[in-house]
Amino acid sequence: MQALEDTVTTELWASVVIATYNRHTLLRRLLEALDRQTLEPSRYEVIAVDDGSRDDVREALFDLKTRYSLRVERQANAGAAAARQRGADLARGVTLVIIDDDMQVSANFLEKHLERHREMLASAEGNTVVLGRLRPSANLADMPLFERFYARVLAEKAEAFASGQAQVRGHDLYTGNVSLPRALFLKAGGFDATFRALEDEELGIRLEKAGASFAFANEAESVHGSDWTSRTAWMARARRDGVYQAKVSRKHPDHHEASPWRHLPNLNPVSRPFMALSLTLPRATAVVANVAIRTASAFDRLGLEPVAIAGATFVYGLQYYRGVREETGGVGDVAREYRDFKKGVALLRRGGSGDASAWRALVSAVREDHRMIQFYACKYDARDNPSGLDQRTSADPRASSLASDAVRKIGFQLMVAYRAMRFFREAGLGLGAQFMSRSIRHAFASDIHWDAELDPGVVVVHGFGLAVSYAAKVRAGCILFQNVTLGFGSDPVTKQTGAPQLEPSVHVGIGATLYGPIVVGESTKIMAGCVLSRSVPARSIVEAAVPHVAPRAAPR
């Protein structure tokens, strides 16, 4: 934090960079909003770069007066990446704030971005990229169908970041609302001007490789009110996204999340044959796409928006994979690149010959999970302890086998699936991990992030309805019953964010909700239905019926 405070004595806090093209009316609206910021005007500047608009933006804004330093530059049309790069090159601020020209911002927009950077500096995370929230305009219903489709996609992503269900990564970066240290931007190499689409995602991947951390600022929001009205232009843009996704993947083959195949696990099974058609017979698919978008628009006019949005999603996929095919080459080239995803499945089936350490960890963890199931069965369940053995052993010769329990016990099935998901993650196969995450969601109605750390020896009872944040940590011997949530949240006093850490042998009852950066002490019992947002000491009993935590007199 001190580093930032030392720097601002001689430099601006922030430089706002805006690329603009044929939108001088919307740009004026944004520049006027930036003049109403709560941040002192001397603490920021704004640089707008006109990327060869039909009308010279400088002339259109000649009468605009601002309290802050405003610089408007003009260049021959070279794309948004080149325009933003020029703005960044001219910037004098410690922090770059990049925003699109069609956004609307509140008065505390810049203050909230800088506040998030100060928080990260205080926690020793100096190289932080802060992604602000994008909200759709209040007049969402007036937008064309395809723009509502985009708005809903961005809103869902923002909700996932805000709730802790997803962690911001480099490939999530968007230039509609982002800030980062200028030194970090330069270290990563800035924008690649050869990218005429997805230049933000490509930069984000390089920032991640340069050691950046990523944070989400829910309050540093911008409102997106798009002026796109051409259906033909939207379909061309979807196709261009596919072209440049393939380019990003080729430039970063080691980053699995950059692959265009990463979307396949999320597709409706009914849609997959059509996406395959886009990859094999792209010209024929163009006819299908045109018919489908007209049909979706007809449903929209009838007031059946959910059906219409589903149709727009389908059409976007068709166009996207047409673009992928265009950039990738022939059918053989498509098949060859798709093997990156299939490699993960084949690796698991072969017993992990490609990554022996990851495979051994998978097998060892599954065995330990099963051993703990038997331990607790002997301790608590008379049906599984007919010989009356001591509760500290599971040596009953009639104890069920691992294979048997994998068939009979749903909770154990979920843990095996989780271990497979972690196997993909540890083997560097991000797409495989995401595929397993989706499989767990559909098979067990549970949402467990692949970054969540569940130590070997965790027991899940019944195995449905779990929601586990990427930042959650669960130690050996813990038991999680159905409908348990370990969610991302913030401490109301310290404002620190995070997810629960359960120390060894914590039992969490049915429907309990734990959230925020809390630590639950060893051998604690959380009763059914509890909501817990603060740390508790070891060997406590947390009851839903009383507002306090009752410590146990002695260890169990």
Residue 354 pLDDT grade (very low, low, confident, very high; cuts 50, 70, 90): very low
Query: Mean pLDDT highest for which of 105-114, 158-167, 276-285?
Result: 105-114
Which CATH superfamily does the domain covering 356-551 fall into?
Hexapeptide repeat proteins (2.160.10.10)
pLDDT at 523: 93
Residue 283 has pLDDT above 50, yes or no: yes
Residue 2 has pLDDT above 50, yes or no: no
Q: What is the mean pLDDT of the chain?
A: 84
- CA 32, CA 16: separation in Å to the nearest integer? 13
Comparing 370-374, 420-424, 448-452, 520-524, the range with the smallest average pLDDT is: 420-424
- CA 187, CA 206: separation in Å to the nearest integer? 9
Q: What is the pLDDT of residues 68-120, one digit of tens each?
A: 999 999 999 999 999 999 999 999 999 999 999 999 999 999 999 999 998 88
pLDDT at 11: 58
Q: What is the pLDDT of residues 130-154, one digit of tens each?
A: 999 988 876 666 678 878 887 888 8
Q: How many C-beta atoms lie closer than 10 Å to residue 332's C-beta?
A: 9
Question: SS3 of 340, please?
Answer: helix
The pTM of this model reads: 0.62
Residue 126 has pLDDT above 90, yes or no: no
Q: What is the pLDDT of residues 34-81, one digit of tens each?
A: 999 999 999 999 999 999 999 899 999 999 999 999 999 999 999 999
pLDDT at 227: 66
How far are the Cα atoms of 358, 360, 415, 443 from residue 479, in angstroms, in the given order? 25, 24, 12, 20
Which CATH architecture group holds 2-226? Alpha-Beta Complex (3.90)
Tokens of residue 238, six digits: 């979807």
Residue 474: which residues within 8 A CB-CB, separation 6 or more?
452, 453, 454, 455, 458, 468, 480, 486, 501, 502, 506
pLDDT at 342: 57
Domains 2-226 and 356-551 share a fold: no
Q: Which residues is 551 bridged to in the sheet?
A: 540
Tokens of residue 235, six digits: 């379909």
Chain centroid offset of residue 338 CA: 23
The residue extents of the domains of the chain are 2-226, 245-338, 356-551
Residue 157: which residues within 8 A CB-CB, separation 6 or more?
166, 172
CB 73 within 8 A of CB 56: no
More confident residue, 277 or 178: 178
